[in-house]
Amino acid sequence: MKRVLFDENMPRRLRRDLPGCTVRTVQEEGWAGLENGALLGRAQAAFDVFVTADRRMEFQQTLTNYEIGIIVIVTPRLWYRVLVTIVPRLRQAVETTQPGRVVHLRV
């Protein structure tokens, strides 16, 4: 069972679309407001995959240095009704993303 962490910007409803995964949010972990480096440092110890829509993260951090798979959702709107269209690809990415890898999912 994959352990997935949703960034602060991800709609919580999306977790229902990842059955078989343990999905937590940054807020639930008490990590809201942490800088990206500190957040990823904590996340890699407890999670397999980090899901975010923060495209700036790649330019601020060397993501391959972290032992966690990262999925970056590229979308103009972070609405559930928009993101639900990529659920099959998101499930696939969660299952196959390896530590230190970054996967982009375009909506």
Secondary structure class of 11 (helix, strand, coil):
coil
Identify the pLDDT of residue 67. 95
Residue 92 CA to residue 31 CA, distance in Å, equals 26
Specify burial of residue 81 (Cβ count, 10 A radius: 0-12, 13-18, 19+).
Answer: exposed
Beta bridge partners of 24: 5
Confidence of residue 90 (pLDDT cuts 50, 70, 90): very high
Contact assessment for residue 63 and residue 70, using Cβ atoms and an 8 Å cutoff: yes
Whether 59 shows a pLDDT value over 80: the answer reads: no
